[in-house]
Structure 1
Amino acid sequence: MAAQNMITSDRLEKIPDNISVSYLPESKSLSQRILGKGLNYYTQSYIHDIQVFEDEIVAKCWRSMRKNENPHKLHIEIGEEKLLESFCTCKAGMNGHCSHIVGLLKTLQGLKLHNFKQVPDQQSCTSMPQQWHIPRGAKIAPVPVNQVVVAKPLENRKRRPVLC
């Protein structure tokens, strides 16, 4: 990781226009779960502090579960039509095929598709439109009232549940 000796930039001209998840060496073997989580990291702006070097890209990804811990550090080296090296500090990222790396590739792909010439600055939440009115979607499926069971969890239950 010789990135510290190189001049950093936020210019995207060194990144190929057709960059995508297919640049990963074993992209066909990635599960739908990893691809979906990587897409969520891109759409929810978890990827930040993107620095572009000669042929390397260094970024950070906010943690999705342990918010008070430091973000994951991402590192990729881009060759022609494939990644030469990819690394993430998460447990699954030692081989470079984790959802954080997929999120970084999706972020770079999105920046190139929207014709950005450089990495945009991270906007604060007060600079963006308010989000509280946007529904989260259906999380709990509706059921008929006669199928509702009112009970404590199984390990704490002392009596039978209440049925309709």
Structure 2
Amino acid sequence: MAASTTNSTSSKDLSQLPDISFAFVEEFIRKHSQSSGKEQMTKGFKYYSEEYVHSVSVHPDETGCLVEGKCFRSQRKNESPHDVKIMINGGQIEYSFCTCTIGQSGYCGHVSALLYQLAHYKSMKMKLIQQILLKTSLPQTWHVPRGQKLHGEKADNIVVQGYDREDPQRATKGIKSTLYNPIPGNEAINLNDLLVQVKDMDILFDTVVTEHRTELVQTEFGKFPKGSILSYQQKMASDYLLNLMDNNSFPELPLKNVMINNFETVLMKDQLKKYDSLKVTRLESKEIEEGTRLQSNDPKWHKIRRDRITASHAGKIAKRRADGAKLAERLQSTRHVQTAAMKRGIECEVTAAQAYSKTGR
């Protein structure tokens, strides 16, 4: 593509950038890529999510703005990163360039990564690009992998799932531990309490009664002595909350439909067909609720939400006054974005649930 000159004045101000969504990025890649664009989108989103993109700056001019950035190399991270440039004018990309071999054409994974980074800035309504501290002011990071981290899990929480090359998004049932199968009934009898009652009796039990009380810990099967096999193999999970001891199962939802529908309209044939495809019966809603109680930890939960407008987006739709085309494109994006604030919220879900179970508010 044609070369571009860089304005000497650069800034971190994002107000010069037009609104860029993830759907816009994917459409741009599909339209200009020589292939289907799937490889550029996959690599670009990987580089963006693993923070390969850095040193982003904006150069405004009379016709638009030039965005420059750097992207680490995927294979040789110890070498100098690639330089990426994108010229944006009137909401359209006029010029894109990368110093890698494929980037000479203007369409590569590094260009896609910078576009995804810009879309993230606009979706978060950021005014300025975050200031990057000098390397000398930060701990060394060359020995820290940039990919996703692996950590230990309890054997009961491990799920072994297969992989379908033809349909990678298809959720498989998987194999997991079925050890936890509690039987309703009274907890195990505390032998020490019974022996204390007959302590003063002149029987042989007196020889085994001791003043020492073994510390009991809570397990999935009730309280058991600390140090026993059940105490460390069947610990209570941090997200396990049980306030109603008399109920052995969740109630069937929805309990009662109290919503009154006052909206009436006549749909076109295509609209009616689409609307009918989204409806679910009461039995189906019950099965969906029972099968997705683990929420984000369950692949089925992600699969069901992928093509549906959930409650988290209902407010945006109700408040929308402008044309809904751009909002529809943003809602139909197949990319999953997890910001630092979202990640922190997921980590604190257990704490919030425990506080709510105690106070009820």
2:118 pairs, out of 97, 104, 108, with: 108
The answer on 1:15 being equivalent to 2:17 is yes
- Report the AA paired with residue 40 of structure 1: K
Conserved 8 A contact 1:12-1:116: yes
Q: Take 1:14 and 1:104, find their aligned partners in 2: how far apart are those partners?
A: 16
TM-score scaled to structure 1, two decimals?
0.71
Q: Take 2:81 and 2:38, find their aligned partners in 1: how far apart are those partners?
A: 23
Conserved 8 A contact 2:14-2:128: yes
TM-score scaled to structure 2, two decimals?
0.34
- Report the AA paired with residue 121 of structure 1: Q
- Report the AA paired with residue 20 of structure 2: N
Q: Which structure has the bigger radius of gyration?
A: 2
| Partner secondary structure for residue 130 of structure 2 | coil
Conserved 8 A contact 1:23-1:82: no
Tell me by how many angstroms 1:125 deviates: 7.0
Identity fraction in percent: 31
Pairs within 5 Å for 1:1-164: 1-3=4-6, 5-19=7-21, 20-21=24-25, 22-23=27-28, 26=32, 29-54=35-60, 55-122=65-132, 132=149, 134=151
Q: Take 1:109 and 1:26, find their aligned partners in 2: how far apart are those partners?
A: 18
Q: Take 1:34 and 1:23, find their aligned partners in 2: how far apart are those partners?
A: 11
Tell me by how many angstroms 1:50 deviates: 0.3
Conserved 8 A contact 2:20-2:118: no
| Partner secondary structure for residue 53 of structure 1 | strand
Conserved 8 A contact 2:66-2:87: yes
Higher mean alpha-carbon deviation, 70-79 vs 22-31, is at 22-31
RMSD: 3.1
Conserved 8 A contact 1:23-1:81: no
Q: Structure 1's 107 and 78: CA in aligned 2 closer, same or farther, altered over 3 A? A: same
Q: Take 2:73 and 2:122, find their aligned partners in 1: how far apart are those partners?
A: 25
Higher mean alpha-carbon deviation, 22-31 vs 93-102, is at 22-31
Q: Take 1:67 and 1:50, find their aligned partners in 2: how far apart are those partners?
A: 18
Q: Take 2:79 and 2:115, find their aligned partners in 1: how far apart are those partners?
A: 23
Higher mean alpha-carbon deviation, 22-31 vs 35-44, is at 22-31
| Partner secondary structure for residue 112 of structure 1 | helix
Q: Which structure has the highest helix share of the two?
A: 2
Tell me by how many angstroms 1:18 deviates: 2.9
Other-structure match for 1:150 = none
Q: Which structure has the highest strand share of the two?
A: 1
Other-structure match for 1:148 = none
Structure of greater relative contact order (alpha carbons < 8 Å, 6+ residues apart): 1
- Report the AA paired with residue 35 of structure 1: M
Tell me by how many angstroms 1:23 deviates: 4.3
| Partner secondary structure for residue 112 of structure 2 | helix
Q: Take 2:36 and 2:90, find their aligned partners in 1: how far apart are those partners?
A: 21
| Partner secondary structure for residue 57 of structure 2 | strand
